[in-house]
Amino acid sequence: MGSKEAVIRAFLSNDCVSNFHYVDLRGNIAISAELTDGQDLKSHVTLQAGLKAIEVLAAESISIVSDFNRTLDVQFEAYCEYQRQGAETDAVRDLEYEGAT
């Protein structure tokens, strides 16, 4: 199997994924109604594999967004700490004192 990106791109370009209009919600995951309508045993097994793939993709997406947000938060917190340390220097206090007088 190829890279995660190649697998996800192939999945998202599939007609079943890109052209559906009716969805069923399972938890917070929107699933094509086509994947939830299996009747016979063969299609049921295939549909279960499709549902599992969507659940895995949703979990991966949640993980990516969470990691992205954490990365942004770390950088922002470092910036705020840098600004706070700069504001606590004697030079800044002297400027504030001069401005007040």
pLDDT at residue 92, as a whole number: 74
pLDDT at residue 48, as a whole number: 77
Residue with tokens 């919600």: 25
Instruction: Domain ranges for the chain, please list them.
Output: 4-100
Comparing 20 with 93, the larger pLDDT belongs to 93
H helices present in 1-101, as ranges = 4-13, 15-18, 41-87, 90-100
pLDDT at residue 31, as a whole number: 73
CA dihedral sign, ordered 25, 30, 34, 36: negative
Mean pLDDT of 59-87: 89
pLDDT of residue 45 exceeding 80, the answer is no
Question: What are 55's two structure tokens?
Answer: 């659940």
